[in-house]
Amino acid sequence: MSIAANIEKLKQQLSQNIKLIAVSKTKPVESILEAYNSGQKAFGENKVQELVSKYEQLPKDIEWHLIGHLQSNKVKYIIPFVHLIHSIDSESLLLEVNKQASKINKIQKVLLQISIADEETKFGLDQNDLLKIIDNYISNDYPNIAIVGLMGMATFTENEEKIANEFAGLKKLFDQVKLGYFKNQVSFNELSIGMSSDYEIAIKEGSTMIRVGSNIFGSR
Ligand X SMILES: *Cc1c(COP(=O)(O)O)cnc(C)c1O
Residue 135 CB, nearest approach to ligand X (Å)? 26
Residue ranges in contact with ligand X by CB under 6 A? 23, 25, 46, 67-68, 153, 195-197, 211-215
Kindly give, in sequence order, each residue whose CB lies less than 8 Å from that of residue 190, ignoring residues fewer than 6 positions away.
111, 148, 149, 150, 208, 209
Kindly give, in sequence order, each residue whose CB lies less than 8 Å from that of residue 212, ignoring residues fewer than 6 positions away.
10, 20, 21, 22, 23, 194, 195, 196, 199
Report which residue's Cβ sits closest to ligand X. Answer: 213
Q: Which is nearer to ligand X, 149 or 213 (CB)?
A: 213
Q: Which is nearer to ligand X, 75 or 182 (CB)?
A: 75
Q: Which is nearer to ligand X, 32 or 67 (CB)?
A: 67
Q: Which is nearer to ligand X, 67 or 116 (CB)?
A: 67
Residue 49 CB, nearest approach to ligand X (Å)? 15
Q: Which is nearer to ligand X, 26 or 127 (CB)?
A: 26
Question: 164 — phi, psi (to 5°)?
Answer: -60, -40
Kindly give, in sequence order, each residue whose CB lies less than 8 Å from that of residue 132, ignoring residues fewer than 6 positions away.
91
Eight-class DSSP state of 81: T
Residue 83 DSSP SS3 = coil
Residue 179 CB, nearest approach to ligand X (Å)? 27
User: CA 177 → CA 70, 145, 180, distances in Å?
Assistant: 24, 17, 5
Residue 144 CB, nearest approach to ligand X (Å)? 24
Q: Which is nearer to ligand X, 63 or 141 (CB)?
A: 63
CA distance 136 to 140: 6
Kindly give, in sequence order, each residue whose CB lies less than 8 Å from that of residue 55, ignoring residues fewer than 6 positions away.
62, 64, 81
